[in-house]
């Protein structure tokens, strides 16, 4: 992670300037007439560039806790990955004052064929810790994850809640001044959730910066200072968390991409019937 370029003199913790991120998707050929219909029946495809995020210009100030509010298909994961530097923008630039821990997709990255200890080394290394740093923190991580002497047992059949605790404990052990978190702001239940909140509240009091996406509205309301709201791949509001959640409730629940795909498929079926 040391390869990520940092800008220590930056006033904000994370700065987006005209940022865009796209993917190339294969789609069945469009166009009307017998020729295009025959080409589609032959299985021909064309590549189309789809913009997940476009013209993103915003910043997250040092010490802020910002809620990233959006529907699942509106680019919130990509936004977090761009903030942390694990995704490179196609347009624009993202600058960071300090290293941002990407708590995004960490639980699925845990490998069931390795022991808990081995997973700590692997994920810790991916998040920027050196082997010596991991070694010095293994016992602390095991205690945070409530592993109860299972460090050298295989992850294999560990319950989801155990994997979540392990991922959370590894991420919280990384020395950083900023986090980009998807969903797992706190994990577990009852006493363990309170333990997570105490750890997060302390980090926040120490001036750490958080960019958080979660479907749990109560967590966002409790923890975040303000909200960035995404819609159709663009920022549609920067406002309070309460107002951001209200805006999301008014959004269409299904993505424009799914609607367009359904409409194209209906049109193609009609063309095939005409042949």
| For the ranges 15-29, 216-230, 240-254, the one whose mean pLDDT is highest | 216-230
Give me the chain's average pLDDT, please.
88
Q: Quickly state the pLDDT bin for 274 (edges 50, 70, 90).
A: very low
Query: Over 60: is that where the pLDDT of 263 sits?
Result: no
Q: What is the pLDDT of residue 273?
A: 45
52 φ, ψ (degrees, to nearest 5): -80, -45
Residue 54 belongs to some domain of the structure: no
Q: What is the pLDDT of residue 157?
A: 87
Q: How far apart are CA 120 and CA 141, in angstroms?
A: 8
Q: What is the pLDDT of residue 224?
A: 98
Between β-strands 226-231 and 178-182, what pairing exists: parallel, antiparallel or unpaired? unpaired
Residue 147 belongs to some domain of the structure: yes
pTM for the model stands at: 0.84
Q: What is the pLDDT of residue 28?
A: 59
Residue 115 belongs to some domain of the structure: yes
Three-class DSSP category at 120: helix
Q: What is the pLDDT of residue 36?
A: 59
**Per-residue pLDDT tens over the stretch 94-109:** 999 999 999 999 999 9
Residue 136 belongs to some domain of the structure: yes
* Number of domains the chain contains: 1
Residue 161 belongs to some domain of the structure: yes
Residue 157 belongs to some domain of the structure: yes
Q: Using alpha carbons only, what angle is made at residue 184 by residues 5 and 21, rounded to the nearest 5 degrees?
A: 45
Q: How far apart are CA 241 and CA 31, in angstroms?
A: 44
Q: Identify which has the larger pLDDT, 92 or 268.
A: 92
Residue 68 belongs to some domain of the structure: no
Give the helix/strand (H/E) hosting 73. Answer: none
Q: In what order do the strands lie in the sheet with 14-28?
A: 45-60, 14-28, 91-96
> Are the C-beta atoms of 180 and 83 separated by less than 8 Å?
yes
Q: How far apart are CA 14 and CA 50, in angstroms?
A: 25
Is residue 185 packed enough to be buried (19+ CB in 10 Å), middle (13-18) or exposed (0-12)?
buried
**Per-residue pLDDT tens over the stretch 31-78:** 566 655 666 666 566 677 889 999 999 999 999 999 999 998 889 999
What are the start-end ranges of the H helices in 11-51? 33-41
Q: What is the pLDDT of residue 47?
A: 73
Residue 111 belongs to some domain of the structure: yes
Helix then strand then coil, in percent of the chain rounded to 5, is 40, 25, 35
Question: Residue 167: which domain range?
Answer: 101-175
Query: Which residue, among 139, 136, 90, 88, has the nearest Cα to 116 in the 3D structure?
Result: 139
Q: What is the pLDDT of residue 23?
A: 87
What are the start-end ranges of the H helices in 159-216? 160-173, 191-205
Q: What is the pLDDT of residue 267?
A: 56
Q: Which segment of 36-50, 112-126, 144-158, 213-227 scores lowest on mean pLDDT?
A: 36-50
Q: Identify which has the larger pLDDT, 258 or 123.
A: 123
Between β-strands 65-69 and 226-231, what pairing exists: parallel, antiparallel or unpaired? parallel
CATH of the domain at 152: 1.10.8
């Amino acid at each position: 992670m040391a390869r990520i370029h940092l800008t220590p003199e930056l006033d904000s913790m994370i700065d987006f300037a005209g940022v865009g991120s796209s993917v190339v998707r294969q789609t069945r050929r469009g166009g009307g007439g017998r020729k295009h219909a025959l080409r589609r029946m032959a299985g021909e495809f064309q590549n189309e560039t789809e913009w997940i995020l476009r013209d993103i210009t915003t910043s997250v100030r040092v010490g802020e806790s910002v809620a990233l509010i959006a529907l699942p298909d509106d680019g919130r994961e990509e936004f977090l990955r761009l903030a942390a530097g694990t995704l490179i923008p196609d347009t624009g630039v993202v600058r960071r004052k300090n290293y941002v821990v990407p708590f995004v997709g960490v639980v699925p990255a845990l490998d069931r064929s390795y022991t808990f200890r081995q997973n700590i080394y692997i994920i810790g290394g991916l998040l920027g810790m050196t082997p010596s740093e991991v070694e010095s923190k293994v016992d602390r991580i095991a205690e945070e994850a409530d592993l109860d002497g299972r460090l050298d047992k295989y992850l294999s059949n560990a319950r989801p809640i155990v994997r979540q605790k392990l991922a959370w404990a590894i991420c919280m052990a990384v020395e950083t001044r900023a986090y980009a978190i998807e969903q797992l702001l706190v994990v577990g239940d009852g006493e363990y959730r309170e333990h997570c909140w105490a750890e997060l509240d302390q980090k926040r009091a120490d001036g750490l910066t958080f960019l958080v996406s979660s479907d749990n509205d109560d967590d966002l309301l409790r923890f975040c200072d303000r909200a960035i709201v995404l819609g159709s791949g663009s920022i549609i509001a920067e406002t309070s968390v309460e107002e951001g959640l209200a805006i999301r409730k008014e959004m269409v629940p299904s993505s424009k991409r799914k609607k367009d795909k359904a409409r194209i498929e209906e049109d193609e079926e009609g063309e095939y019937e005409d042949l």
